[in-house]
A and B are shown apart, each in its own frame.
Chain A
């Protein structure tokens, strides 16, 4: 057993001038810095998207409200959805993947560092393009406005005839540009995981985080392409007089729906699988046990990846497909719940018999478990097609998908922040502020999104800028809106925690959580080259082997 210790004694490092530091950040190709850039950019747009949500909720706080005009409201929900999916969730997940995957597999960087940088800046450019629409998008409603056709932009609403001016083109271009960025990152992740693992790390010894990001990246390749294709077709229609979705020329509005949802559904699995990855790393460490059923978790994820490609038209149950098509998509949608359920059971199996530590990161992951369970079940409800004929396009669906994305994905992401912030910055986040963040956000989340199912059951459709009194929706919407304000406060607490802890947090050391994967073997933050010597591993938990030489995992795998 060899041991390499490299120390550099007596070196004084001068602080660089800030311009130089800024230049370093803007031209970096280091996966850790790019990861942080992705995360910071995502946090910025989280706040912006959150403001858009607050505007929506104030407008809907009671019937016949006049806080904003219908035009502004429609822009708000379009921008909110587009921003959150493409410029918050995806960059956050790519950011964590970028930062952690090379560290976890014992590599020095991603396979293609410059492609990595290009991908980030393309993604950021896409976000800027989308928001430039507020200034640059001319149209029927006056100078400068954002797109307002919803984040799916159903044909023919996206056609020139119904969306004149350029506001809609900003949406199209933003998605096209950031789509290329996403594809670049996906290619990078795949090449990194397949080609840069350290010696001894066979695929079956990789941390689940790396496996799940590999599956996610494969899905991105398959799934962003249909969106890119659809956007190109849309541009052909809008600018070259094409007829892809021109119903007057015999084109099909339903075809757009198919193309969009062939992207759109697997996209939500692209978002949730990395959230599963967070949970799969955090829950074992705070239960003090290895993940229960590692091979089954991998198999379940891969099968989710495949099956999720066959469920897309469950977003189209009301569109008038025939009963056989509806039945097909019903069975595939229910089927994808099986491997997903298996994963939930495996996380419970991990905690079972463990010693659960209720650190903030773990609290968020536990809430994730409950909420994702419920979200999955409301998904199964909607897979029962006739039930969906009532639930679709109502606030029940809005509640369901926010349960998945906020209650599932965002909660897991918060867990990831509390878990890996020490590694990234060398400081611990404040547990006290963390608990305030958690409980406030939990209460606000449930006030908003648990209650939100009910207006859906009572007939409230989505995407309406106001509603009629006397339908029984007023009080419920009031509660929903108050919950949104509470969540906003929780986010402020979170941001405060991030900033304050950066300067005043307790020093983290290499391994504050007594964890087992390779990123905890290097300093916090890691040196630019990650590992002085490329490590060699013999099991799934190399640091467990190191800490427990009398009972290493390598004996059992």
Chain B
């Protein structure tokens, strides 16, 4: 037997609070930004301090094409999300898949670059300070891109099965926040590694 008595004055105005998905994702982004900051600080701190081995200038090639791919995937996911909000299924699916392709291209580019660095220049994570900080920072970012791609693919599968509609647009919006974050981190990593560090 339970008895609950509540008795409070009512308030007049409508009670609107932020969406918990957005707040949670914003919090997660905040925390992830802190992790990346530490890796970036380590990278910056160790610029020029390697005792041996290949230097950034000797081995790094600026990945312009793949950066453009990743950054434009932010645009495509944004438009895809807007399409979904307006109920345009077709537009949403097309742009969503394009986003996945562009993200996949970026990962492919990273893989190619690593292959070149390891096999042509002998730069690994244990070679020197540059190797350690480079692979850790770029690798951490690539890991986040991978996780993002997995989530995007999951939504794509549901989308193809016809289960993603206007009522899922809030969740899709939350996911696209994550994707934008991943792109923003790449802007920072790119600047630090390929511009400042060389």
Q: Do chains A and B touch in the complex (CB under 8 A)?
A: yes
Partner-B contacts on A (CB < 8 A): 1-9, 11, 111-112, 183, 186-188, 190-192, 194-197, 199-200, 218, 221-226, 228-230, 232-233, 236-237, 240-244, 249-252, 255, 259, 262, 521-523, 527, 531-533, 535-538, 542, 545-546, 554
The complex places the Cα of A529 from the Cα of B50 at a distance, in Å, of 59
| Cβ-defined contact, A195 with B9, below 8 A | no
For the complex, what is the distance from the CA of A246 to the CA of B190, rounded to whole Å? 26
B191 contacts the other chain (Cβ, under 8 Å)? no
Task: Say yes or no: B9 contacts A538, CB within 8 Å.
Answer: yes
10 closest Cβ pairs, A-B complex: A241-B126, A225-B34, A229-B38, A199-B15, A242-B132, A221-B31, A195-B20, A200-B11, A3-B7, A225-B35
Q: 1/0 per position for B38-77, CB-CB distance to A under 8 A?
A: 1100100110011100000000000000000000000000
* Nearest Cβ on chain B to A256's Cβ, whole angstroms: 10
Q: Are A229 and B129 in contact (CB under 8 A)?
A: no
Distance in angstroms from B5 CB to nearest chain A CB is 5
A236-B129 contact, Cβ under 8 Å, with A252-B45, A538-B11: no
Residues in A with CB closer than 8 Å to B38 are: 225-226, 229-230, 259, 262
- 8 more contacts with CB within 8 A, not counting A199-B11, A259-B38, A521-B5, are A191-B27, A225-B34, A226-B35, A236-B132, A523-B2, A533-B4, A535-B6, A542-B8
Given contacts A195-B23, A242-B136, A536 and B34 within 8 Å (CB-CB): no
Interface centre among A186, A191, A521, A527 (most CB of B within 10 A): A191
Task: Mark interface residues in B1-36 (1 if CB within 8 Å of A CB, else 0).
Answer: 111111111110001011110011001101110110
Given contacts A194-B18, A229-B38, A545-B9, A6 and B3 within 8 Å (CB-CB): yes
Interface size in chain B (residues, C-beta < 8 A): 43
Q: Verify B133–A244 contact, CB threshold 8 A.
A: yes
Residues of A within 8 A of B2 (CB): 6-8, 523, 527
Closest to B132 in A: A242
Partner of A244 from B7, B35, B42, B124 at Cβ < 8 Å: B42
Q: Are B126 and A243 in contact (CB under 8 A)?
A: yes
Point out the residue from B27, B39, B49, B126 that lies within 8 Å of A229, measured CB to CB. Answer: B39
State in angstroms the CA–CA spacing of A153 and B136 once bound together: 21
Q: Is B157 an interface residue (CB 8 A)?
A: no
Which B residues lie within 8 Å of A7 (CB)? 1-3
**B128 within 8 Å of A by Cβ?**
yes
* CB of A204, distance to nearest CB on chain B (Å): 14
A536: chain B residues at CB < 8 Å are 8-11
Chain A residues, CB < 8 A from B35: 225-226, 228-229
Hey, which chain A residues are within 8 Å of B132, CB to CB?
236-237, 242-244
Task: Give Cα A236 to B49, complex, Å.
Answer: 18
Contacts of B31 in A (CB 8 A): 183, 186-187, 221-222, 224-225
**A-B pairs with beta carbons under 8 Å apart, 11 shown:** A4-B5, A8-B1, A9-B1, A111-B24, A225-B35, A229-B35, A237-B132, A241-B124, A242-B136, A250-B51, A522-B4
Distance between A300 CB and nearest chain B CB, rounded to angstroms: 22
Bound Cα distance from A6 to B7, whole angstroms: 12
- Taken together as a complex, chains A and B put the C-alpha atoms of A532 and B2 apart, in Å, by 10
Residues of A with C-beta under 8 A to B17: 194-197
**A255–B34 CB distance below 8 A:** no
Q: Are B50 and A2 in contact (CB under 8 A)?
A: no
Q: What is the distance, in angstroms, from B137's C-beta to the closest C-beta of chain A?
A: 10
* Other-chain contact of B136, A183, A226, A232 (Cβ < 8 Å): A232
A318 to B148, CA, bound (A): 44
Residue of A nearest to B32 (CB): A225
Of chain B, the residue at the smallest CB distance from A537 is B8
Closest to B49 in A: A250
| Cβ of B125 under 8 Å from chain A | yes
* CB neighbours of B8 from chain A (8 A): 1, 200, 535-538, 542, 545-546
Name B6's contact: one of A111, A112, A521, A545 (CB within 8 Å): A521
The answer to whether A191 touches B9, judged by C-beta atoms less than 8 angstroms apart, is no
A9-B1, A255-B42, A522-B4 given; A554·B9 CB < 8 A: yes
Q: Nearest chain-A residue to B28 (Cβ)?
A: A187
A259 cross-chain contacts in B, Cβ below 8 A: 38, 42
Contact among A221, A241, A522 with B30 in the assembled complex (CB-CB below 8 Å) = A221
Shortest beta-carbon distance from B126 to chain A in Å: 3
**Contact of A4 with B6 at beta-carbon distance under 8 Å, contacts A242-B132, A243-B132, A244-B133 already known:** yes
- Which residues of chain B come closer than 8 Å to A523, judged between CB atoms? 2-4
Distance A192 CA – B10 CA, assembled complex (angstroms): 22
Q: From residue A189, how far is it (CB to closest CB) to chain B in Å?
A: 9
User: A535 CA to B6 CA in the complex, in Å?
Assistant: 7
B51 touches A249 (CB 8 A): yes
Judge whether A3 and B45 touch: CB under 8 Å: no
Residues of B near A222 (CB, < 8 A) are: 30-31, 34
Contact A532/B23 with A200-B11, A228-B35 known, Cβ cut-off 8 Å? no
Q: B24 near A191 (CB under 8 angstroms)?
A: yes
- Please state if A112 and B20 are interface contacts (CB–CB under 8 Å): yes
Q: Contact at A196–B20, with CB atoms within 8 Å?
A: yes
B178: shortest Cβ distance to chain A, in Å?
13
- A240 near B125: Cβ-Cβ < 8 Å: yes
CA distance A252 to B9 in the complex (A): 61
| Complex CA distance for A8 and B2, rounded to whole angstroms | 6
Shortest CB distance A398–B (Å): 28
